Amino acid sequence: AQSVTQLGSHVSVSEGALVLLRCNYSSSVPPYLFWYVQYPNQGLQLLLKYTTGATLVKGINGFEAEFKKSETSFHLTKPSAHMSDAAEYFCAVIKAAGNKLTFGGGTRVLVKP
Amino acid sequence: NAGVMQNPRHLVRRRGQEARLRCSPMKGHSHVYWYRQLPEEGLKFMVYLQKENIIDESGMPKERFSAEFPKEGPSILRIQQVVRGDSAAYFCASSPPGRDSDTQYFGPGTRLTVL
């Protein structure tokens, strides 16, 4: 069985500061990994994904994540937070294409001016 | 290319009524997934369908819930005899066949309120 753990249900950052959201997973097979963002009362938007190849993945809105197999982690970062980054972020894992996504509990990001 | 469409966006039902949630996948997508987001809980998988087939329904409650994806028309998630605990946001996602089939694209959700 797969599981995803996101450390910290709430994160507060100052505008212009580094955003770091942590995600660890457990999976019996090498998974595909995703980060989604959810703005209030909206659906989920794909930020980035890792399937194979380069372990540092760049996504939209200046976000990137690094897959570290030895640490079973897929942390999300952005060098400089913007007010528009205030949202809830979900890490998710899938065993293979055509499978269900297993989500972490989500991290709500608050950006302070 | 329009994204995943869900309607209605908001649905209010009284206890005991039926709720029908509709999802039209992105053009060219043949896989549909339903997820539920309960208040203060994460997103949980419910069911995975392809045209006219249920592939995985391991996340569906055993009673009152059903889903279909007919040959023509949208996918439907049906909840019979709703109870207050069914109040949640229901999200549909779709994925294409082929190379990008590992990626699910989400609709805006239907927010169900049971009075």
User: Does any CB of chain B come closer than 8 Å to the CB of residue A108?
Assistant: no
pLDDT at A98 over 70: no
Name the residue among B31, B44, B107 with its Cβ closest to that of A98.
B31
Residue-wise pLDDT for A19-68, tens only, equals 999 999 987 777 899 999 999 888 999 999 998 888 899 999 999 999 99
Q: Do B108 and A104 touch (CB under 8 A)?
A: no
Pairing of strands B75-79, A102-103: unpaired
Selected residues 83-102 of chain A with any CB under 8 Å from a CB in chain B: 90, 94, 96-102
For the CA atoms of B30, B62, A43, B2, what is the dihedral angle to 10 degrees?
A: 20
Q: Where are the beta strands (DSSP E) in B51-104?
A: 53-56, 65-68, 75-79, 88-95
Specify whether the CB–CB gap between A41 and B110 falls below 8 A: no
Distance of CA A59 to CAs A28, A56, A77, A83, Å? 26, 10, 10, 18
Pairing of strands B88-95, B105-106: antiparallel
Q: What is the mean pLDDT of chain A?
A: 92
For residues B29 and A64, what is the distance between their CA atoms, to the nearest angstrom?
A: 27
Q: Of A29-33, B70-74, B99-103, give the range with the top mean pLDDT.
A: B70-74
Residue-wise pLDDT for B10-31, tens only, equals 999 999 999 999 999 999 898 9
Among the ranges given (A17-21, A87-91, A98-102, B48-52), the one the predictor scored with the smallest mean pLDDT: A98-102
User: Does any CB of chain A come closer than 8 Å to the CB of residue B90?
Assistant: no
User: Does any CB of chain B come closer than 8 Å to the CB of residue A41?
Assistant: yes
Task: Please compute the mean of the pLDDT values over residues B60-89 and round it to a whole number.
Answer: 96
* Cα end-to-end distance, chain B, whole Å: 37
Task: Please compute the mean of the pLDDT values over residues B93-97 and round it to a whole number.
Answer: 91
For residue A74, what are the β-bridge partners? A67
Among candidate residues A35, A27, A37, the one with its CA nearest the CA of residue A74: A35
Interface residue of B102, B103, B105 to substitute, partner A, most A CBs within 10 Å: B102
